[in-house]
Amino acid sequence: MKRFEEMNREELLVVYQQAQADYSAACSQGLKLDMSRGKPGIEQLALSDELLKLPALDQCNVDGIEARNYGVLAGLPSCRKLFAQLLGVQPDEVFVGGNASLTVMYDIIAKAFTHGLLHSNTPWSRLDKVKFICPVPGYDRHFAICESFGMEMITAPMLLDGPDMDKVEELIKDPSVKGMWCVPKFSNPDGMTYSEAVIRRIAKMKPAAPDFLLMWDNAYCVHEFDAQYEPIPDILGLCREYGNPDMAVEFASTSKITLPGAGVSCFACSLDNMAYFSKLIGAQSISYDKVNQLRHVLFLKDKEYTLAHMEKHAAILKPRFDIVLSKLDEQVEPLGIAHYFRPRGGYFVSLYAMPGTAKRVHALMKNAGVVMTGAGATYPHGNDPQDSNLRIAPSFPSLDELAKAMDVLCVCLRLAAAEKTLGK
C-alpha cells in the first residue's frame, strides 16, 4: 500500500472507487452497532455477579453503623478507606457520594455557583463571566457541565505528557479563569497519562482566581488493561506541598469496576474543603446509599483485591483494543490518512482522521449502521476546529461485531480521505 501523499490523482481515483465499492458492500451487511459510549460489555457486568448477593443480613451492621438506616453523611468509614487506598489519599479526605462521579462533579460546580467555594469572594453565579480550562480533546460530559452553567470554555491542547502547561500557565493569569478539567490517567479520549512533571506543574500553579478549582477526574485510576498497575502522584498531597491545599478536588467511582450506574462514587479533597462541602451537602442529603457502599466494600475488599478484579476486566478489554489497533494498523496506518494513540488503559482509542473528514466519517458510519461518538464531541460545543478527532469505544460490542465495525470504519476513513483529497 502507498501512502495517500505519495499517490498521483489516477492512483487516488482507483483508491476512491475501491473505497466506494467497499462501502456499498459494508452498508449491505445491515449492521446495527453502537460504539458511541464507554459502556462496559455484558461479560464485564458478569464479573460483578456476586455483588448482587451482598450484603448478607448479618453483615449490615458495620463499623458500628447500621448501613440500612439513615445517617453518616460522608459515607461508611470502610468505604472511605477503600477509595482512599485506590486514590492514594487519606480516608478522611474522602467523601462517598451517590451512584455516579458525574453527579458529584456537577454538584461541586453547582456549589461554586450557588454558594461559592472555600476561597471565593462571591458565588460564581454573581460573576459576569466564568471561564474554565478544557484540555482538548476531552470528555464531552465535562464540557456539557460547563455549557449548562454558561461557562466559557478555554481550550488547551493535550500534549503527549498531559495538557500544554505553557498555555495553561498563561490562561490562569486571568482571574475569571476559575478552574480546569483534568483526566490525569488514561485521559478521555487520548488514553494518555500525565507525567509526574506535568502533574507537579499543575499542583504548583498560582492562578489569579483565589478559588481556582482543579477538577481532577481520576475516572480510570485502576483501569489498566495492558500494563501493570501504576498509581499517579497524589494530587492532594502535591497541591498541599506547593501551597495550594484547597485547589484540587479529585473524583472517582466504581462505575467501570463493578456496575455502571449502580456503583459508588466519591470525591476527595483537603480537610478544610471537606468541612466546607460537608456543611453544604448537609442541606442536600442525610446520607447516601450506605447499603450499596457496604455491598461494594464486601465485594471489592481492598486495593489488592480490586486490582485483581480489574485484571479480569483487562482480560475482556484487551482483545477489543487489540482488534481496534490491528485493524487500523493493517488498513489505515499504511495509507497515512490517520493517526491514533495506543492506550494501555481506559476505555477509548482516540483517532485523528484526515483533517476535515471526521464529520463525514461519522455520517458514513451511521449510514452503514454503526453509531460512534459524534465527531467533535471531544471538543467544547462539539466544535473540533480540525474536524479530525474520532473517539472509538470498543468495550460494548462483541469481538465479532467490533471486528466488523472496525472494518467498516477503515473503509469510511479511506473513502472520506479520498473524497477530501480529490476534492469530491
Find the shortest distance in angstroms from Cβ 293 to its own copies.
Answer: 9
Beta strand spans in 202-326 (E) = 213-217, 248-253, 265-268
Stretch in the footprint of its own copies (CB under 8 A) among 4-12, 97-105, 200-208, 383-391:
97-105
Among 130, 145, 154, 235, binds its own copies (CB under 8 A): 145
- CA 365 to chain CA centroid, Å, is 23
Site string for its own copies, 166-205 (x = CB under 8 A): ----------------------------------------
Region 268-287 residues binding its own copies, contact defined as CB under 8 A: 280, 282-287
Among 37, 223, 303, 404, binds its own copies (CB under 8 A): 37
Find the shortest distance in angstroms from Cβ 243 to its own copies.
Answer: 30
Q: Contact 375/358 with Cβ under 8 angstroms?
A: yes
The verdict on 91 binding its own copies (CB under 8 A) reads no
CB-nearer residue toward its own copies: 220 or 352: 220
Q: Contact 163/127 with Cβ under 8 angstroms?
A: no
User: At residue 126, what is the residue type?
Assistant: R
Among 178, 290, 404, 414, binds its own copies (CB under 8 A): 290
Question: Which residue's entry shows cell 501512502?
Answer: 3
Residue 54 burial class via C-beta count within 10 angstroms: exposed 0-12, middle 13-18, buried 19 and up: middle
Stretch in the footprint of its own copies (CB under 8 A) among 50-58, 128-136, 196-204, 322-330:
50-58
What DSSP line would sit under 72-84, residue for residue?
A: -TT--HHHHHHHH
Region 59-88 residues binding its own copies, contact defined as CB under 8 A: 60, 66-71
Find the shortest distance in angstroms from Cβ 412 to its own copies.
Answer: 26
> Measured between alpha carbons, how far apart are the two ends of the chain, in Å?
22
Neighbouring-strand partners of residue 421: none
C-alpha to C-alpha distance for 255 and 136, rounded to whole angstroms: 24
User: At residue 47, what is the residue type?
Assistant: L
CB-nearer residue toward its own copies: 8 or 122: 122
C-alpha to C-alpha distance for 119 and 5, rounded to whole angstroms: 54
Helix (H, G, I), strand (E, B) or coil at 370: strand
Region 341-400 residues binding its own copies, contact defined as CB under 8 A: none
Among 16, 55, 340, 408, binds its own copies (CB under 8 A): 55
CB-nearer residue toward its own copies: 66 or 166: 66
Q: Length of the chain, please?
A: 424
CA–CA–CA angle 60, 61, 63 (5° rounding): 125
Region 114-133 residues binding its own copies, contact defined as CB under 8 A: 114-115, 123, 125-126
Q: How far is CA 236 from CA 55, 96, 288, 333, 355, in A?
A: 32, 17, 24, 40, 38
Find the shortest distance in angstroms from Cβ 117 to its own copies.
Answer: 15
How big is the site for its own copies, counted in residues (CB under 8 A)?
A: 56
The verdict on 423 binding its own copies (CB under 8 A) reads no
Question: Dihedral of the CA atoms 213, 215, 216, 219 (nearest 10)?
Answer: 170
Stretch in the footprint of its own copies (CB under 8 A) among 165-173, 184-192, 256-264, 314-322:
256-264
Region 98-117 residues binding its own copies, contact defined as CB under 8 A: 98-100, 102-103, 106-107, 110, 113-115
CB-nearer residue toward its own copies: 155 or 292: 292
Find the shortest distance in angstroms from Cβ 229 to its own copies.
Answer: 24
C-alpha to C-alpha distance for 411 and 401, rounded to whole angstroms: 15
What does DSSP say about strands 349-353 and 389-392: parallel, antiparallel, or unpaired? antiparallel
Residue 72 Rama label (left phi>0; alpha psi -120 to 50; beta): left
Find the shortest distance in angstroms from Cβ 397 to its own copies.
Answer: 13
Peptide bond into 380 cis (omega under 30): no
CB-nearer residue toward its own copies: 280 or 399: 280
CB-nearer residue toward its own copies: 17 or 148: 148
- CA 324 to chain CA centroid, Å, is 19
Binding site for its own copies (CB under 8 A): 37, 39-40, 42, 45, 48-49, 52-53, 55-57, 60, 66-71, 98-100, 102-103, 106-107, 110, 113-115, 123, 125-126, 141, 144-145, 147-149, 255, 259-262, 280, 282-292
